[in-house]
Each structure stands twice: as C-alpha cells, then as structure tokens.
Chains A and B, each alone.
Chain A
Amino acid sequence: MQTPAPVEYSRATSVDDALAQLQALGGNARILAGGYSLIPMMKLRLANPGHVIDINPLERDLNYIREEGDHIAIGPLTRHVNMLESDLLARVFPDIFREAEAVLADPVVRNRGSMGGSLCQSDPAEDLSGVIVALKGQAVLRGTGGSERVVEMDEFHIGPYMTCIQPTEMLVEVRIPIRKGFGGAHEKVERRAGDFAIVAASSALAIEGGKITWAGVACSAVGPTTLHIERAEQALVGQAPSEDLFAQCGQMAAADCSPNSDGRGPADYKRHVAGVLTTRALSRAAATALR
C-alpha cells in the first residue's frame, strides 16, 4: 500500500493567501494543483512536504489561456485537457500543443493534471515541458509581497525533479512568444499508451519568405532536464527548410543529448531515436508552417 507520509492540508483562498501560507510555513510546504505528479511523489516518499496548499479552489483565477499582445499566457492550473482542446493554442501554435497533449498520460489524468504541476515536477521525460522548452516560454514566479521574476525555461529546470522555484515562490503564469509563420510538431516513442517517453522530440519553426527565421528544438528523456539542442537551432536560422538540413539537425540532436541506459532502453538506442524523432518533428513542423 502506498500512502503519503503524514502531512497537513489547507486550501488557498487566493494567490496572495497561498504565498502567505508558504511564507508562514517556512519552506516546508508545497503547492498542490492537480496532484498527478506531487501525490505519486509523496507516496514514493520522494517528496515529503510537511504541508500541502491546495490551489484547486482558485480554478477560476488560475485556469486560463489568453492572447496578450505579443505572447500567449497560460495559467498554472490550466488542465491538460484544456490545452489539448484549446482552439487558441491550436491556431497560434499549430499543432505542437495538440500533438503533445494527445500523448501525455491518459485522458483521465489529463482531466486534472495541470500545466503548473507538470512544469514544477521537472520530469525530464514529460511531454508538455518539452513543448514549452522548445517554444522558449518564460515562467513567471511570484514571491511574498507580490514581487515577480521572469525566468527562461532553461533556467527554470535545473535538474531532474528540480526547479529554480524558491520555497516561498509560486509559478503563476507561463508566457510563450507568438511568432509569425509558426509550425510545430511533437514526436514521441513510448513503451505503451500513456507512459512517459522513451524519447520525445519537440520542434518548432517560424518560416517567412522561404527562410527559417526562428527555431526551437528540444528533446525529452535524454538528459537530466528537457534539453535544448542549441546547435540545431543555430544551424536552422537563416536557412531555407530542406530535408537535408533537418537530417543534419537530427544528427546534432543525437550527438548532443546525454541519455542513460535504463528499463526503457540502452543509451545508444535512445540517442538514435532522438535523432530520428528530431528530424521527423522538424520536417512536419516545416510542413505545418508552410501550410
């Protein structure tokens, strides 16, 4: 039987209240959103907070996907099903959110699991993190007194199950820049439906006037965090999209990732798959951008 260690439970009445509780509990508390990451970690005793602060009562304030000028803002309690079914995300970022959310866990988990929970779990094999890293999203962290800081995803995930969020801070929003001529794709190889990835690749391109003007390339489950393949991004920008170019980028992804051998496969296999999936994702992202 798996049960969390003894823990205290409270509900937040507002974001300010959640932050005040975090402050009062002196770093011994965790924010509880959908629960599909934190509760399993508590059952495994890998997370042992003395106190959980339930933010589900703040659904109306924290579950949103909005277009705000030059970026899309996503609230931390936005459920996976909301991102899967969002017409706004499908229109602005075709089809990367829909593809990743369709293979993230299973429909029942997606009913409750949240954007904030997924990102803060910082599991290097998690699909949504791959997308937001590829899209170079920014995390808005709020601390006590309402002070906010904005961090890039590369600084947000600092290791497996580790983020840069301080004990008295809370993720209050993710912002993703809107880009003209956008196309994105998510490729995943998994052992069975709904599992974490053996390897996943999230790729996005902006193509204007026949040239790639911006690129985001990320790989999941092949490193301590979701990896940016920076060499591939640099190689893509300024070039005309071509299958040769995407194949080269796949080779870069295979070379630059750092998978471990485990129950999901040997490292050399994962390296190979990272290359193949990156090439495929780029190719489909380009087709979508030019559609």
Chain B
Amino acid sequence: MIVNISINGQMHSHDVEPRLLLVHYIREYAELHGTHWGCDTSNCGICIVLMDDPVSDQPPYPVKSCTMLAAMAEGYEIVTVEGMAAPDGTLDPIQMGFHEMHALQCGFCTPGMMSTGRWLIERHPNPTQMTDHEIRDGISGNLCRCTGYDNIVKAIRWAAAYIEEHPESARTARA
C-alpha cells in the first residue's frame, strides 16, 4: 500500500507492506538514520519520535515508533532528531542541553531521550520548576545504559532554563 507520511516537514510517499513498522519506514524508506532501533518490544524508548496531530492543539508528543505501523502515522506530522534544529542549523535547546551537560556517552538512546525531554518541557506548566522525580518519571520509558541518567536529568533542566531565558528558541521542535 502507498503510505504518505510527513517527516520533518517533508512529505514522503512509499509503497510498503501494511505490516511495516514506523521505525523501519523512517530508517529504510525515508533514510533518516537518526531514529535508532532498539529493543523492538516497546520497552527501551530508543525509537521514540515526536508525533504532531495537526487537528489537536496539544504539543507534539513522543511515540515509540517500533509499536506503530507506518500506515497509522499517515496524517500526522512526525519530527525526528534530524528535524529538531532550526533550518539555519541552530540546535534546539534540548540538543544544546545534552551537549552542555554531557548527557550522552554512546549516543544510542539520545534521539529518543531528547524527544521525550522536549515534550516534558513543552507540556509542563512551569518547566524550570520540574522536580527530579517528575523528570525521572517522565523519562521512565527511555532506557540509557551509559549515563546513570544524572546528566540527562541535568540536560533537560538546562534546556528548560534556556527556553525560559530565550522564549524565541521554544518553537524549533515543531516542524
């Protein structure tokens, strides 16, 4: 079947099997390899991408792309790690935060972790006041085997503070 999906603002159209998972559509058909493919069992959160429902007023929210058929994503806007930075290359605050706070070692979990982190900030009424518990609970569907999570929590907090100081930077996560 022909599946049309808008990824990072660009429409992709491919003839795929209906059983194709979104993560493989993104990696093998759209050839965007920034979205990683991990446990394949909805546990690890490595494959998380942001999904925006154009008819909803909610911010884009993270979904596990190994647990969605590509066909289910038609009509939604998908944002992968490649679509996070501004067109001029300015990194999204969450990307800056991961850089500044050294929130990655091997980098395998990072695209998913940043997607969830971006959403936590965007949906929180007062992001700079997020408790460690709120952040840790928020990323409990994302596994990291390197960092021990400490620097990831700091990076999300860093990004929240940056967005508060630079409100104009907050829009870049939307495609």
Q: List the interface of chain A (C-beta within 8 A of B).
A: 1-9, 32, 35-36, 39-40, 42-43, 52, 54, 56-57, 105-109, 111-112, 193-194
- Residue of chain B at shortest CB distance from A51: B18
Of A8, A107, A108, A109, the residue contacting B18 (CB under 8 A) is A8
Of B42, B71, B138, the residue contacting A107 (CB under 8 A) is B138
Note all chain B residues with C-beta closer than 8 A to A8.
Answer: 18
Note all chain B residues with C-beta closer than 8 A to A43.
Answer: 40-41
Q: State how many angstroms separate the Cβ of B16 from the closest Cβ of chain A.
A: 10
In the complex the two chains form, is A39's CB within 8 Å of B69's CB? Answer: yes
- Residue of chain A at shortest CB distance from B71: A9
Q: A2-B41, A43-B40, A111-B62 are in contact. Are A9 and B18 (CB under 8 A)?
A: yes
- Residue of chain A at shortest CB distance from B63: A112
Chain B interface category by residue count: 20 to 34
Note all chain A residues with C-beta closer than 8 A to B41.
Answer: 2, 40, 43
- Kindly name the residue among A5, A52, A107, A193 whose own CB sees the greatest number of chain B CB atoms within 10 A: A107
In the complex the two chains form, is A54's CB within 8 Å of B21's CB? Answer: no
Q: State how many angstroms separate the Cβ of A13 from the closest Cβ of chain B.
A: 13
Contact with A along B63-86 (1 / 0, CB 8 A): 110111101100100000000000
Pairs across A and B, CB under 8 Å, 15 listed: A3-B19, A6-B17, A7-B18, A9-B69, A39-B42, A40-B67, A52-B18, A54-B69, A56-B72, A107-B137, A107-B141, A108-B141, A111-B61, A111-B62, A193-B140
How many inter-chain contacts with C-beta < 8 Å in the A-B complex? 78
B1 at interface by CB-CB < 8 Å: yes
In the complex the two chains form, is B68's CB within 8 Å of A108's CB? Answer: no
B93 at interface by CB-CB < 8 Å: no
B residues 50-65 in Cβ contact with A at 8 Å:
61-64
Of A6, A54, A107, A111, the residue contacting B72 (CB under 8 A) is A54
In the complex the two chains form, is A2's CB within 8 Å of B40's CB? Answer: yes
Q: State how many angstroms separate the Cβ of B129 from the closest Cβ of chain A.
A: 18
A108 and B61 CA atoms in complex are apart in Å by: 8
Q: A36-B42, A108-B116 are in contact. Are A54 and B63 (CB under 8 A)?
A: no
Q: State how many angstroms separate the Cβ of A193 from the closest Cβ of chain B.
A: 4
